[in-house]
Amino acid sequence: MGYLAPLLTPFLVAFGSALILTPLCRRVAVTLGVMDRPGGKKIHAQPTPLLGGPAIAIAQAGGVLASGPVDPVLVSVLVAAGLILLLGIHDDLSPAPGGVRWWLRLLFQGFLAVFVIHPGITLGFLRTPWLSIPVILLWIVGITNAFNLLDNMNGLSAGVAAIAGLTFASLAARYIDLGPEQVPTVRASAALAGACLGFLPSNFRSRIFMGDAGSLFVGFSLACVAALGSWRSPTAPTSVIIPLLVLAYPIFDTTLVVILRLRRGQSPVVGGRDHSSHRLVNLGLGRVEVVLLIYLFSLSHALTAVLVSSVTLRLSLLALAGSASVLFIFGMVLRKAPVWGVGASEEGPNRGQETG
C-alpha cells in the first residue's frame, strides 16, 4: 500500500483547508445575502447559504499546489475548472430562475472542454483525434451536468464525488509508472476528494450548499481526471470501463431523469424533483438513508472498478454488464415511484410537495 503515499499530502491539505474555508464562505454568503431560498421544487425549508463551491475549489487548488510543481496539463484543468466555477457563481447570484440559458451553459462548457483537451487530455485507445476529441468533449460536458443534476440533497453530490476522487487517486497511484499523466491525476483527484470530505460536515447539517458553482466544478474536475489518467494501460479498453464504473451512479441518475422526462413530454433541462433520490424518499426512506444508500451504490461500483483494473478484458466486460444490469433493474423499480408534481396516471400516486 506504499503506492498511496503520493496522494496523502494533497488529500490532507485539501481536507483541512475545506474544513476552515467552508464556514468562512458561509459567513460571506450570509453577509452578501447569497442564499438558496425554499419554495417551488426545492426540498429545504429554511434559506441556506450558498458559496460552498468556492470553498471546495480553493481547497482543491491548495491541495494540488502543496504537493509540488504543477505541469501544464494540470494548470489547464485548474484554470478551466475555475472558469466553470465562475459560471456557477453567476447562476447562484442570478435572481432569474436557472441563471444562464441552458444552451449557453452547454456552449461554455464545451469551450472549456476543448481548452483542456488541446494541451494533452486524449483517449489513447482511440488513435485518431477525430474520434477521441468528440468522445472526450461529450464525456466532460455530460459528467459536468450529471453532478449538477445530482446535487439535490445534503451531502449527496459531495459524497459521491469524494468516493470517485479517492478511487481515481488510488488507481492512478497504483499504476503511476504507466505515464507522466499519472502524477497530476493522483494529485488532482486526491485533492478534490479531500476538499469534498472537508465540505461534507457543514453540508450535512444544512449549514451551506455547494450551489451550481460547486456541483459544476466537481463534475468538470472529475470528468477531466477520468480522461487524463491511465487506469491500466494507456491503450487498453479498460481505460474506458473503469471511469464508467467509478461514475456509474451520476450517469445512471441523469439517464433515468432524461428518459422519464422525455417519455412524459417534458424538457430534460428543466429542474424537477424526479431524480432517483427524490423517488427513494417518496418510497418511504429518510433523506439520510437515501444519501447513504447512494453512497453504497457508488462505493460498490468503485470497488468493482478497482477489481477490473487487475483482470482480463473479458472479465472487465462481465463486471460492467453486471453493474449495468443492477442499475437497470433499480431504474425499473424507481420509475414506478411517486413523484411530486406528476400525475398519478403517469408516475403513480402523488404524495405532494415536501417542505423540508
Q: What is the pLDDT of residues 206-220, one digit of tens each?
A: 899 999 999 999 999
**131 — pLDDT class (breaks 50, 70, 90):** confident
- Give the per-residue pLDDT at 310: 81
Q: 211 near 25, Cβ under 8 Å?
A: no
- Give the per-residue pLDDT at 151: 93
Overall size of the chain counted in residues:
356
Contacts 24+ apart (CB under 8 A), 46-50: 46/206, 48/206, 48/207, 48/208, 48/209, 49/25, 49/207, 49/208, 49/209, 50/92, 50/208, 50/209, 50/210, 50/211, 50/213
Residue 322 has pLDDT above 80, yes or no: yes
Q: What is the pLDDT of residues 166-200, one digit of tens each?
A: 999 999 998 888 778 889 999 999 999 999 999 99
Q: Which three cell numbers stand for residue 223?
A: 470528468
Q: What number is the average pLDDT over the span 123-131?
A: 59
Residue 61 has pLDDT above 60, yes or no: yes
Residue 266 has pLDDT above 80, yes or no: yes
The reply to whether the predicted model has a pTM over 0.85 is: yes
Q: 78 near 64, Cβ under 8 Å?
A: yes
Residue 141 has pLDDT above 50, yes or no: yes
- Between CA 90 and CA 200 the distance in angstroms is 23
CA 199 to chain CA centroid, Å, is 14
Q: What number is the average pLDDT over the span 242-263?
A: 94
- Give the per-residue pLDDT at 102: 83
Sketch the domain layout of the chain as residue ranges. Answer: 2-32+48-339
**98 — pLDDT class (breaks 50, 70, 90):** low
Q: 215 near 53, Cβ under 8 Å?
A: yes
- Give the per-residue pLDDT at 312: 78
Residues 6+ apart with CB under 8 A from 309: 171, 174, 175, 231, 232, 238, 242
- Between CA 279 and CA 6 the distance in angstroms is 40
With CA atoms as reference, report the closest residue to 164 among 133, 128, 189.
189
**235 — pLDDT class (breaks 50, 70, 90):** very low
Q: Which three cell numbers stand for residue 89?
A: 457563481
- Between CA 39 and CA 304 the distance in angstroms is 39
- Give the per-residue pLDDT at 135: 86
